[in-house]
Amino acid sequence: MCNTDSKASKTKKEDEPATASGGFKGAPDSVALLLFFVFWYAGNMKYNEYNTASLASVGGKFAGMTMTVATLQLGVCGVYAAIMWLVRINPVRLFGLQVPTKQSMPESTAEDIAKTVPLGFCSAAAHACTVFALGGDPLFGQIVKSGEPVLSALVNTVFYNKPPSTNKILCLPIIVGGVAFASLKKIDGAYALKFDQTALVFGMLANTFAAFKGSENKKLMSDKKVAERFGGVGNQFAITQIIAFFLCLPVMFGTESAMFSTFTSKLATDTDLQINLFLSGLCFYLYNELATMTLKVTGPVTASVANTAKRVIVMVYMAAITGKSLTDEQKIGAGIAISGVLLYSVIDDLLKPKKETTTTTETKKTQ
């Protein structure tokens, strides 16, 4: 937002170590990458735990304070980003036993911020709907969330004219079938649909807005000048979360203003709520940042496997934390849906024509 005196400062990378050139970097990149994976998973698990505990502290899904919890989690993200800009250091690489990196304020213009608002809106809606879904049923909510590719295919086809390949389309019934089977429950010897409606409805909405968010993010960062002024994906993510927070505020007061005094009273006196709310917001920010750092340096297949493994691990962890075990139908349905997601993610790479590779090899042999 402010101009710099030198062109060099504009092109500084956000991953530049916060030490003198040639100084100690820390652990090797291979070790750091492994640790980033570990803490990405751990951060996601702990976010789900702290989020569930925060919602329980305010009375659960019927207490009328879920939107408040979701909004204040984004508020924690905004405060964390502001502190990083104030001290000009991003400590996230400490999770990989490496030296923290510099994190200067972005040089974005008002026009850049305006272009980011659609992404901020989608991010806010996806986050809030996810909190509502997980508040309804943290386990079934995760199963519904695994169906994100279905909504992503629909959104990208209808709104962005980017339909998935035929191979990917053929994978969608597997995902839908898995989620549907997980919704079944055996009652008096017969199967019937029985599920948490809050988790299903808001999980589907979260998937829809997540699909919009992904496409809007690509569209925004395709503008090289805007991306350069952001100074990296870290700053862009921080600004998006701040915008999301401010967009959630009017929704929060519009839907839960009657309970806000009750919430503030609880927050002032309940230490568990204070800790869980703060840590849920912090974990949300950190695990998303760690996910970005790991996935941008891994191949598409590795990224897909990592995302699939993460969802399974989170479900198992939340089952242990909540003491609520998955039913046989949920286990089978989740397995089918998650397998479908993995296949959806890698099928184009698995079935990619080898013509180009063969041609390149033959050309090299003739030289």
Please state at what angle helix 271-295 crosses helix 66-87, rounded to 10 degrees. Answer: 60
Q: What's the pLDDT score for residue 300?
A: 61
Query: How many Å apart are CA 252 and CA 255, to the nearest integer?
Result: 5
DSSP string covering 306-334 = HHHHHHHHHHHHHHHHH--PPPHHHHHHH
How many angstroms separate the most distant Cα atoms in the chain?
Answer: 78
Local confidence band at 18 (pLDDT 50, 70, 90 cut-offs): low
- Arithmetic mean of pLDDT, 214-224: 88
Instruction: Tell me how far apart the terminal alpha carbons of the chain are, to the nearest angstrom.
Output: 53
Whether the per-residue pLDDT at 7 is higher than 70: the answer is no
Q: What's the pLDDT score for residue 28?
A: 87
- Arithmetic mean of pLDDT, 293-318: 77
Q: What's the pLDDT score for residue 196?
A: 81
Structure confidence by residue, pLDDT tens digits, 119-170: 999 999 999 999 999 998 888 888 888 888 888 889 989 998 889 889 989 9
Local confidence band at 109 (pLDDT 50, 70, 90 cut-offs): very high
Q: Kindly report which listed range (30-39, 282-291, 350-359) carries the lowest average pLDDT score.
A: 350-359
- Arithmetic mean of pLDDT, 315-336: 85
Whether the per-residue pLDDT at 193 is higher than 50: the answer is yes
Give me the torsion for CA of 134, 136, 139, 140, rounded to 10°. Answer: -110
Q: What's the pLDDT score for residue 239?
A: 94
Looking at per-residue pLDDT, the higher value among 165 and 191 belongs to: 165
Whether the per-residue pLDDT at 50 is higher than 70: the answer is yes
Q: What's the pLDDT score for residue 142?
A: 85
Q: Are the beta carbons of 59 and 115 closer than 8 angstroms?
A: no
- Arithmetic mean of pLDDT, 256-285: 95
Q: What's the pLDDT score for residue 240?
A: 94
- Arithmetic mean of pLDDT, 7-14: 46
Query: How many Å apart are CA 127 and CA 162, to the nearest integer?
Result: 24
Whether the per-residue pLDDT at 204 is higher than 70: the answer is yes
- Arithmetic mean of pLDDT, 32-53: 92
Query: How wide is the angle at C-alpha 131 spanned by C-alphas 125 and 137, nearest 5°?
Result: 135
Mean pLDDT score of the chain: 85
Q: What's the pLDDT score for residue 6?
A: 42
Whether the per-residue pLDDT at 11 is higher than 60: the answer is no
Q: What's the pLDDT score for residue 10?
A: 43
In the chain, pLDDT over 90 holds for what percent of residues? 40
- Arithmetic mean of pLDDT, 235-264: 95
Looking at per-residue pLDDT, the higher value among 20 and 125 belongs to: 125
- Arithmetic mean of pLDDT, 73-77: 96
Whether the per-residue pLDDT at 256 is higher than 70: the answer is yes
Q: What's the pLDDT score for residue 354?
A: 64
pTM for the full predicted model: 0.84
Cα–Cα distances (Å) from 161 to 95, 153, 166, 215, 258, in that order, read 39, 10, 15, 11, 42
Whether the per-residue pLDDT at 4 is higher than 60: the answer is no
Q: What's the pLDDT score for residue 126?
A: 94
